[in-house]
Structure 1
Amino acid sequence: MENIEAKQVIDRLGGTSKVAALCDIKPPSVSDWKKHGIPKPWRKFLLSAHPEAFQPAGQPGQESAAA
């Protein structure tokens, strides 16, 4: 089963390869997050670095995060 929040965050940050590069890890690890969720330490890092990626759809500022 797919983890919807993780998939949305990864997509908003530019996709699997971009997130892997941002975290200095391999893309298959990030792909696993789409199934099992973002591990807590990486979630905290990404939330701190890119809080806009975690905003619910339709929230102000969400459009600029995708651009």
Structure 2
Amino acid sequence: MTDEIYPEPTCECSAQLERGQARCRKCLARGRWLRKQTAKRHGRRIKTRRPPRNPRGLTLRGVSWT
């Protein structure tokens, strides 16, 4: 019989896990990266972009070069 009674714990990517771990370091890091990317994309949708040559502060101070 080739089936083990207590198989070694493995991650979703087939990596061996230490005792008490649910996911390996690589999968945990991938999850963190995906959450950060989602938050970045969501944050960009809310903000309005300004043109790069039109800084906000100069127009509020009344400075004009024209």
Select the structure with the greater relative contact order (CA < 8 A; seq sep ≥ 6). Answer: 1
Same fold per superposition (TM over 0.5)? no
Whichever structure has more helix as a proportion of its residues is 1
Normalising by the smaller structure, the TM-score range is under 0.3
Instruction: Give the TM-score, by structure 2 length.
Output: 0.22
Instruction: Give the TM-score, by structure 1 length.
Output: 0.22
Greater Rg over alpha carbons, structure = 2
